[in-house]
């Protein structure tokens, strides 16, 4: 989990999972099928919002408190009851990779009023990425490839509120990698197997791998509230993402046409 999120998992079941990036026999561990899905925008969405939408006064307050703006927004909103902001967002600012596989889709926040605060929209965006993950999980589950646990690596695991939100929305325990260099550790594990130090990846991982087990567990009261919000997310997801309303595609096409006219005018002027 970082600027984007890559979901990889092993299973002894081979199935066609709609909208998945691929499945390879032995693609991760020999003897199991390796699946991959993904979300093309996660941390990028949070960064875009902070850079372009948050008032300067928030930045000043964050600096005065010795926090990043991300930390400041999180602290301001973390104690609000689930659904208290009255918002739901779609996490498609970089399109949708899984399960719709459509780069022409775009972001959306619905429910804003004249009293909506910046930190509330920030939380809605955090939640939207978790809803996107749940959509992927439910697609796997419905296809006969059950998802039973999440192990998180990447920079976003530093945000404890975000991790708890994911656990609540997914209704799954979340474990975290106990190394700051997950990709390097993974490469070292495979290298150790290739060098003959261990017979296979499982054996190497058992010795070299580091894991904090079940650091976050779902809170039932929060999960129940998030179930209701997820229903709203799913309705928006299908309405805008499955062809019933193609406004996002039309707006992208209009933007390209307008840009082409501007570029042509610039060439004539030159």
- What is the share, in percent, of the chain residues with pLDDT greater than 70? 97
More confident residue, 262 or 117: 117
Q: What is the pLDDT of residues 142-164, one digit of tens each?
A: 999 999 989 999 999 999 999 99
- The answer as to whether 234 is a domain residue is yes
DSSP the chain: --SSEEEEEEES-----TT-SEEEETSSSTTSEEEEEEES-SHHHHHHHHHHTS-HHHHHHHHHTT--HHHHHHHHHTTSPTTTT--EEE--BTBB-SSS-BTT---EEE---TT--HHHHHHHHHHHHHHHHHHHHHHHHHTT-----EEE-SGGGG-HHHHHHHHHHHTS-EEEES-S-HHHHHHHHHHHHHTTSSSSHHHHHHHH--EEEEEE---HHHHHHHHHHHHHHHHHHHHHHSSS--HHHHHHHHHHHHHHHHHHHHHHH-
**pTM for this one?**
0.94
For residue 18, the domain's CATH number is 3.30.420.40
Is residue 245 pLDDT above 70, yes or no? yes
Give a yes or no: residue 210 inside a domain: no
Average pLDDT, the chain: 95
Q: What's the pLDDT at 180? A: 84
Cross-strand partners of 131 = none
What is the structure's pLDDT at 270? 63
Check residues 27 and 129 and name the one with the higher pLDDT: 129
Cα distance from N-terminal residue to C-terminal residue, the chain? 45
pLDDT average, residue stretch 190-198: 95
Q: Which two tokens stand for residue 117?
A: 């605060």
More confident residue, 211 or 266: 211
pLDDT band at 264, cuts 50/70/90?
Answer: low
pLDDT digits (tens, 9 = 90+) for 46-64: 999 999 999 999 999 999 9
Closest CA to 207 of 192, 228, 223: 192
pLDDT of residue 261 exceeding 90, the answer is: no
pLDDT at 181: 85
How far apart (Å, rounded) are the C-alpha atoms in residues 162 and 156? 8
Give residue 254's pLDDT. 96
How many residues are given for the chain?
A: 270
Host domain of residue 124: 5-146+217-263
> Are the C-beta atoms of 121 and 49 separated by less than 8 Å?
yes
Domain membership flag for residue 135: yes
Is 241 inside any structural domain? yes
How far apart (Å, rounded) are the C-alpha atoms in residues 17 and 21?
Answer: 9
Q: Say how many domains are in the chain.
A: 1
In a domain, 68, yes or no: yes
In a domain, 233, yes or no: yes
* C-alpha–C-alpha distance, residues 71 and 89, integer Å: 20
Q: Report if residue 161 sits inside a domain.
A: no
Residue range 234-238: average pLDDT? Answer: 98
pLDDT in tens, 162-179: 999 999 999 999 999 998
Position 268 pLDDT exceeds 80: no
Q: What is the pLDDT of residue 29?
A: 87
Distance CA 121, CA 108 (A): 11
What's the confidence (pLDDT) of residue 7? Answer: 96
Q: What is the pLDDT of residues 128-139, one digit of tens each?
A: 999 999 999 999
> Would 110 be classed as within a structural domain?
yes
Torsion angle of alpha carbons 204, 207, 211, 214, nearest 10°?
Answer: 100
């Amino acid at each position: 989990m970082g600027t984007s999120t890559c979901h990889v998992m092993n299973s002894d079941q081979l199935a066609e999972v709609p909208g998945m990036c691929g499945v390879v026999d032995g693609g991760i561990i020999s003897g199991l099928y390796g699946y991959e899905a993904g979300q093309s925008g996660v941390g990028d969405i949070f960064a875009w919002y902070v850079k372009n939408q948050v008032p300067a006064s928030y930045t000043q307050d964050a600096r005065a408190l010795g926090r990043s703006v991300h930390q400041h927004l999180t602290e301001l909103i973390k104690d609000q009851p689930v659904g208290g902001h009255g918002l739901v967002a779609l996490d498609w600012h970089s399109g949708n990779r899984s399960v719709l596989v459509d780069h022409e889709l775009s972001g959306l926040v619905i429910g804003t009023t004249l009293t909506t605060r910046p930190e509330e929209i920030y939380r809605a965006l955090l939640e939207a990425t978790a809803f996107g993950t749940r959509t992927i999980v439910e697609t796997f589950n419905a296809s006969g490839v059950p998802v039973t646990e999440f192990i998180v690596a990447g920079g976003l695991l530093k945000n404890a509120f975000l991790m708890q939100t994911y656990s609540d929305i997914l209704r799954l325990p979340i474990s975290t990698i106990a190394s700051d260099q997950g990709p390097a550790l993974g490469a070292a594990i495979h290298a150790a197997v290739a060098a003959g130090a261990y017979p296979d990846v499982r054996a190497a991982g058992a010795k070299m791998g580091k894991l904090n087990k079940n650091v976050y567990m779902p809170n039932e009261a929060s999960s129940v509230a998030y179930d209701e919000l997820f229903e709203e997310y799913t309705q928006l997801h299908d309405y805008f993402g499955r062809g019933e309303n193609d406004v996002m595609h039309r707006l992208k096409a209009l933007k390209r046409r307008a840009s082409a006219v501007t570029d042509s005018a610039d060439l004539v002027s030159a």
